[in-house]
Amino acid sequence: MRTSIATVSLSGSLTEKLTAAARAGFDGVEIFENDLLTSPLAPEEIRARCADLGLTVDLYQPMRDIEAVPAEEFARNLRRARHKFEVMDRLGAETVLVCSSVSPLAADDDALAAGQLSELADLAQDFGIRVAYEALAWGRHVSTYDHAWRIVEAAGHPALGTCLDSFHILSRSSGPKDLEGIGAIPGEKIFFLQLADAPLLGMDVLQWSRHHRCFPGQGGFDVAGLVKHVLRTGYDGPLSLEVFNDVFRQAEAGPTAVDARRSLLILQEETGIRALPAPAAPTGVAFAELLTPDAEPVTALLSGLGFARTARHRGKPVELWEQGAARVLVNTGPAALSPSRLRSRAGTPVDGTVLTAIGLESPDPAAAARRAEALLAPVLPRRRGAEDAPLDAVAAPDGTELFLCATNRPELPDWRADFADVPHAPAASGAVRIDHVALTQPWHHFDEAVLFHRGVLGLGAQESVDVADPYGLLRSRAVANADGSVRFPLTVGAAPGDDTAHARHIALAVGDVVAAARRFTGAGGRLLPIPANYYDDLAARFEFAEGELEIYRDLGILYDRDAHGVFRHCYTHTVGRVFFELVQRDGGYQGYGAANAPVRLAAQRAAR
Amino acid sequence: MRTSIATVSLSGSLTEKLTAAARAGFDGVEIFENDLLTSPLAPEEIRARCADLGLTVDLYQPMRDIEAVPAEEFARNLRRARHKFEVMDRLGAETVLVCSSVSPLAADDDALAAGQLSELADLAQDFGIRVAYEALAWGRHVSTYDHAWRIVEAAGHPALGTCLDSFHILSRSSGPKDLEGIGAIPGEKIFFLQLADAPLLGMDVLQWSRHHRCFPGQGGFDVAGLVKHVLRTGYDGPLSLEVFNDVFRQAEAGPTAVDARRSLLILQEETGIRALPAPAAPTGVAFAELLTPDAEPVTALLSGLGFARTARHRGKPVELWEQGAARVLVNTGPAALSPSRLRSRAGTPVDGTVLTAIGLESPDPAAAARRAEALLAPVLPRRRGAEDAPLDAVAAPDGTELFLCATNRPELPDWRADFADVPHAPAASGAVRIDHVALTQPWHHFDEAVLFHRGVLGLGAQESVDVADPYGLLRSRAVANADGSVRFPLTVGAAPGDDTAHARHIALAVGDVVAAARRFTGAGGRLLPIPANYYDDLAARFEFAEGELEIYRDLGILYDRDAHGVFRHCYTHTVGRVFFELVQRDGGYQGYGAANAPVRLAAQRAAR
């Protein structure tokens, strides 16, 4: 099925938008009128540009406040429409979107609306144009898709059909029953299908629509369910994204277009009209990789935490540090000196010690890479020597390299084969593994990151939470696999400039956080100091065993409870842009201590 | 009356917040619990810090989910409260805020609520603490101020009173009648009054409250009306601001605290409890001043527009350019080489040609300056020579210097007296004046700017509009005097980094924009080219006289209509960060051509 995107969904000039849409692999575009008006290109030039880029002009939009008005007003509207049809003719657009009227002049008169739309369709037909009539959720008299269809049906004009828009339908829907009326519309009378998702916000629907739409799979609507209804009618026009979003308006058009097309690919898979390589959700974190121009501070930290240097890469300046099932690669290669691999979208290069890559234990690395590639994830050059094990890797939207790999599975190439063991004392504890890796995200691409991890890697997304940093609200949402052995809390700063303000971190699951914290401080490590006031609050909120709270207070251990269990955690100091967390999850605690995040963030700010 | 501010209203660490509140002149603070928890200072140290700063700790807040719960839960709540009262004792806070419960455990049982709040008040009394019970607008069973008061009244406990919060009351209010119940509360039982305004958004009240509150006078609530009701009860506690706002969370605490206190001063004036020097609204724009390191490009532009250089400052490198009643100063003084005067809040110094000052024709410059000073506007050093006329000047929040002055009024010192005439040919036209000066604003301080111009200068604020720039939405709101002879459209970019992206401009009112545009281009000036597609759209939307549209198309004149009249306008190219607009207002058109702004912005982006 063809895919299309409305130019209003992307940032920049019309030329930039068209280029981005074509590069991301869309088949066509909807031309949003203002993008045409502000373009120095004549309609014929836009048509030629689209043709050069392999894009069709699937829709011209919108035409407003046309129908159910007094005759004199309608004459003016027809005059206006004729001008627009001339432009469409030059543009090569064969379908026009007509939104249900919001004009105070419009009458609540379906027969009048049908008659005037029919006249409009007569005129359109002269230009070889079809009129797609759509109910705006806030239309003055026509605000539901079935009402719009009744008018179209009554008009009975071959050049008049309806346009369905998932936002307008689902923002007013109270349940799946509301969609059943779609089945009553013959597919050939659905002239266009516009798709958008949105977070479930209780707000004025017009503002919600204009500022907060997002791509399918990024919000709370069942867009796939709606598309299934539409497909059953026999609709065979494009699946077209129309997203008004304040963030996308500012973001680079190229990545947004990729994000958009990925969302449509996933939607097509969900609705059974496109087969993609099946997801092979990761079963664990094989390693996290730190890139550093100076290994000493970070290896000192690893040693203090009980890691031992167990192996060295055969061909590159990369060391493997291990403790139990937790593995950290320390890379001092040339990339560390010009770390263009991880770049904030704000354009600031990230320097110092940074977390640049994650090894994901994959049940089928090659299949996982095929899925990632099908979903537009850049496949990374392997940059390996002749003897290195083959290693599939893709780039996440934030630039993090995700290696899809196998550890100690004889049937598959092992990434560890690239490493030669070095003599070492045994690590301090065998019970440690990576609990989660917290990945700060560039400001403009938070929803994209969540969809990527969900769609490409097959992780599940947890609830989104706001976290108060002293200098602004952060937004955080974790993605995780089913058994919780892979967890990535994704966090975005309060403002575009803030995306590199917060370091990433590796949380190590330990059986006894108090013992681990003591071992660390005993080895000379510094834990993040937590204000005493925090412990006074804990004392007010929870009852502790005699002496328990004093232990936490002395060490700087934070404490949280949920319906399932208890979470105790503490933080090391920060090296470059990386720090570590020690966590003890008991009784099936599911979260990440979000309630404690403001305390941690303020303490980190104070420690700078 | 004492003024106070909740620490949650300001950005940064608790220390930064307290310092900012004290510097802005607040008498006290509400300590928001999370600000205490995240502070490394012990409660006693915070108390001492406040005392050093001359601040009282007027409230500790909030205590949640206390009342109307099963006995066992209430016992836990009392235990929690005791811990908090101990902290308050160390902090020196004598009033605690208790919000109505949102807990699923809470029963809809006023007698139970009253009984348990009474028990809580007993405990509080032991610590010398008073409990102020407040209805959250989204409280589970208690969500209105009169309901909260009924419970407090039923409890009849001397240490239990109510807290009124303008947001919680006005967000649920359907009209002034809803406030009459305030009169039933004895003033001495109103233990605290929290004030916040908010824009009138149709959205979930919890989200509205947590993210979109603003200072009184910046939103759509009648906060002054509410305060009048409260004052009539005999309430004599502080007027305290409690504002949760995503932007203020990120902005520097210092300017936000000044903005906050200014809003309270204006509120006190509106409610008749504070006298300020009366506003002396400006009656015209005396001049606009451009600072430039290289005068040639801008004076060439002025010449092309028909300005003549009429005078030169007697002591400084400043030239006066005039055309009719429009006057522009061109300053090539040393400040132009290190233009720290105008600095974006993002920290980026503004370079090249910039608009740094505006001369406001004032009916009483000295009185206007006194009002500005009383409302915390920095009074600027006059930096004048011994012979210069006295000139009152204050800084707007964005750093723009506002000179309060008189032109050709014999009874007052004339700023022109500092200038010596130079020989010149007569200017091209006598009919020109400054229609408006468009002032881009730093991102974090848009609401502050509107309140400043309204409160300090006595200008009226017009509607706020969103304008689509190709790279993000801008927000624009004009302030103007009653007869429209002083108009400043204030515009803020889409993101914090964007505040210097857009140049400021001076709009010149002309009687015939076509003639003025022709004169300008005839003199070799370049007008901003406007895309042909825009004129095709005009042809669709409006009917023009034969040949009229072609003239606009040839020159690049934009066109708009409102209910009153017609607006025709065009733009020069940009010099540094300044450009000019020629505008012709006919028939009482009130706006600024906002509908055309996306076309203008895209054309300026394309022209770069």
Looking at residue B510, which CATH number applies to its domain? 3.10.180.10
Express as a percent the part of chain A with pLDDT over 70. 94
The pairing of beta strand B190-195 with beta strand B308-313:
unpaired
Chain B residue numbers with beta carbons less than 8 Å from the beta carbon of A598 are 34, 37-38
Instruction: Classify residue A495: in a domain, yes or no.
Output: yes
- Name the DSSP letter for residue A249: H
C-alpha B364, offset from chain centre? 24
Q: B183 and B229 in contact (C-beta within 8 Å)?
A: yes
The residues that bridge with A578 in the sheet, in sequence order, are A504, A575
Nearest CA to B10 out of B269, B26, A304 is that of B26
Q: A500 and A279 in contact (C-beta within 8 Å)?
A: no
Chain A residue numbers with beta carbons less than 8 Å from the beta carbon of B36 are 533
Chain A residue numbers with beta carbons less than 8 Å from the beta carbon of B346 are 497
C-alpha A347, offset from chain centre? 20
Whether B599 and B485 share a structural domain: yes
Residue A541: CB atoms within 10 Å: 15
Query: Comparing B445 with B266, which gets the higher pLDDT?
Result: B266
Chain A residue numbers with beta carbons less than 8 Å from the beta carbon of B599 are 37-38
Q: Is the pLDDT of residue B29 over 80?
A: yes
Test the B interface: residue of A138, A533, A604 with most B CBs within 10 Å? A533
Residue with tokens 């000019």: B580
Average pLDDT over residues B479-492: 96
Q: How far apart are CA A98 and CA B272, in angstroms?
A: 53
Among the ranges given (A423-437, A470-484, B139-153, B156-170), the one the predictor scored with the smallest mean pLDDT: A423-437
Instruction: Classify residue B290: in a domain, yes or no.
Output: yes
Helices marked H in B1-144? 14-23, 33-37, 43-53, 71-91, 110-126
Per-residue pLDDT, A384: 56
Give the minimum alpha-carbon distance from A123 to chain B in angstroms, rounded to a whole number: 15
Q: Is the pLDDT of residue A433 over 60?
A: yes
Per-residue pLDDT, B250: 87
Instruction: Classify residue A278: in a domain, yes or no.
Output: no
Residue A250 marked in a binding site: no
Whether B121 and B161 share a structural domain: yes
Instruction: Classify residue A279: in a domain, yes or no.
Output: no
Q: Domain of A464? A: 433-607
Average pLDDT over residues A476-502: 83
- Name the DSSP letter for residue B572: B
One-letter amino acid at B60 equals Y
Domain count, chain B: 3
Out of B421, B454, B479, pick the residue that ends a domain.
B421
Whether B9 and B92 share a structural domain: yes
Whether B462 and B593 share a structural domain: yes
Per-residue pLDDT, B503: 86
Q: B82 and A541 in contact (C-beta within 8 Å)?
A: no
Residue B423: partners with Cβ closer than 8 Å, 6 or more residues away? none
Average pLDDT over residues B89-98: 98
Nearest CA to A113 out of A132, A131, A100 is that of A100
Nearest CA to B64 out of A371, A540, A93, A588 is that of A540
Q: Are residues A34 and B603, on separate chains, in Cβ contact within 8 Å? A: no
Per-residue pLDDT, A427: 67
Q: What is the largest CA-CA distance in chain B?
A: 91
The residues that bridge with B506 in the sheet, in sequence order, are B437, B580
Q: B425 and B308 in contact (C-beta within 8 Å)?
A: yes
Query: Comparing A27 with B426, which gets the higher pLDDT?
Result: A27
Q: In the structure encoding, which two tokens stand for residue A302, read together?
A: 């690893």
Instruction: Classify residue B40: in a domain, yes or no.
Output: yes
Element (DSSP H or E) covering residue B4: strand B3-6
Q: B422 and B309 in contact (C-beta within 8 Å)?
A: yes
Three-state DSSP class for B98? strand
Q: How far apart are CA B153 and CA A290, in angstroms?
A: 63
Q: B232 and B183 in contact (C-beta within 8 Å)?
A: yes
Q: Are residues A531 and B37, on separate chains, in Cβ contact within 8 Å? A: yes
Whether A414 and A477 share a structural domain: no
Average pLDDT over residues A99-127: 98
Instruction: Classify residue A276: in a domain, yes or no.
Output: no
Of chain B residues 178-207, which have a CB less than 8 A from chain A? 201-204, 207
Side by side, which strands form the sheet with A558-561? A460-469, A472-480, A487-492, A433-441, A504-509, A578-586, A566-571, A558-561
- CA-derived radius of gyration, chain A: 28
Average pLDDT over residues A438-453: 91
Kindly report the backbone phi and psi dihedral angles of residue B562, in degrees, each rounded to the nearest multiple of 5, phi listed first: -130, -170
Q: Is the pLDDT of residue B500 over 60?
A: no
- pLDDT tier for residue B349 given thresholds of 50, 70 and 90: very low
Q: What is the CATH number of the domain that holds B263?
A: 3.20.20.150
Per-residue pLDDT, A333: 85
- CA-derived radius of gyration, chain B: 28
Whether A132 and A263 share a structural domain: yes
Count CA within 13 A, CB hemisphere, residue B32: 25
Out of A366, A396, A421, pick the residue that ends a domain.
A421
A551-559: long-range contacts, CB 8 A cutoff, minimum separation 24: A551/A514, A552/A514, A555/A514, A555/A517, A555/A518, A555/A521, A555/A527, A556/A517, A556/A527, A556/A528, A556/A529, A556/A530, A557/A513, A557/A514, A557/A517, A557/A530, A558/A530, A558/A534, A558/A593, A558/A596, A558/A599, A558/A600, A559/A596
Instruction: Classify residue A190: in a domain, yes or no.
Output: yes
Per-residue pLDDT, B347: 42
Whether A305 and A250 share a structural domain: no
Whether B24 and B99 share a structural domain: yes
Chain B residue numbers with beta carbons less than 8 Å from the beta carbon of A250 are 471-472, 494-495, 498
Residue B180 marked in a binding site: no
Whether B141 and B87 share a structural domain: yes
Minimum CA–CA partner of A78 in chain B: B540
Residue B281: CB atoms within 10 Å: 18
- pLDDT tier for residue B344 given thresholds of 50, 70 and 90: very low
Per residue in B219-229, pLDDT (tens digit) is 999 999 999 99
Of chain B residues 532-561, which have a CB less than 8 A from chain A? 532-534, 536-537, 539-541
One-letter amino acid at A27 equals D
Test the A interface: residue of B206, B533, B536, B559 with most A CBs within 10 Å? B533
Per-residue pLDDT, B532: 97
Q: How far apart are CA B227 and CA B230, in angstroms?
A: 5
Residue B100: partners with Cβ closer than 8 Å, 6 or more residues away? B67, B133, B134, B135, B136, B139, B140, B141, B142, B143, B148
Per-residue pLDDT, A344: 42
The pairing of beta strand A566-571 with beta strand A558-561:
antiparallel
Per-residue pLDDT, B471: 87
Per-residue pLDDT, A341: 46
Per residue in A340-378, pLDDT (tens digit) is 444 443 344 455 899 999 999 999 999 999 999 999 999
Average pLDDT over residues A114-125: 98
Whether B335 and B237 share a structural domain: no
Q: How far apart are CA B406 and CA B417, in angstroms?
A: 11
Q: Is the pLDDT of residue A430 over 90?
A: no
The reply to whether A236 touches chain B by the CB within 8 Å rule is no
Q: Is the ipTM of this complex over 0.95?
A: no
Out of A394, A421, A448, pick the residue that ends a domain.
A421
Per residue in B379-406, pLDDT (tens digit) is 887 655 566 667 889 999 999 999 999 9
Sign (positive or negative) of CA dihedral A223, A224, A226, A230: positive
Per residue in A176-218, pLDDT (tens digit) is 899 999 999 999 999 999 999 999 998 999 999 999 999 999 9
Instruction: Classify residue B428: in a domain, yes or no.
Output: no
Nearest CA to B450 out of B505, B459, B265 is that of B459
Number of H helices, E strands in chain B: 18, 24
The pLDDT mean for chain B works out to: 93
Per residue in A573-607, pLDDT (tens digit) is 999 999 999 999 999 999 999 999 999 999 998 98
Whether A248 and A315 share a structural domain: no
Q: First CA to last CA across chain B, in angstroms?
A: 53
Nearest CA to A598 out of A505, A544, A526, A531 is that of A531
Express as a percent the part of chain B with pLDDT over 70. 94
In this structure, the dihedral spanned by the alpha carbons of residues B474, B475, B481 and B482, taken in order and rounded to 10 degrees, is 120
Helices marked H in A244-361? 246-250, 253-270, 295-304
Whether B442 and B417 share a structural domain: no
Per residue in A244-301, pLDDT (tens digit) is 999 889 889 999 999 999 999 999 999 999 999 999 999 999 999 999 999 999 999 9
Per residue in B162-195, pLDDT (tens digit) is 999 999 999 999 888 999 999 999 999 999 999 9
Of chain B residues 203-222, which have a CB less than 8 A from chain A? 203-204, 207, 211
Q: In the structure encoding, which two tokens stand for residue B607, read together?
A: 């022209």
Per-residue pLDDT, B498: 60
Q: Is the preceding peptide bond at A62 cis, omega within 30 degrees of 0?
A: yes
Give the minimum alpha-carbon distance from B332 to chain A in angstroms, rounded to a whole number: 33
Q: A67 and A115 in contact (C-beta within 8 Å)?
A: no
The pLDDT mean for chain A works out to: 93
Residue B202: CB atoms within 10 Å: 12
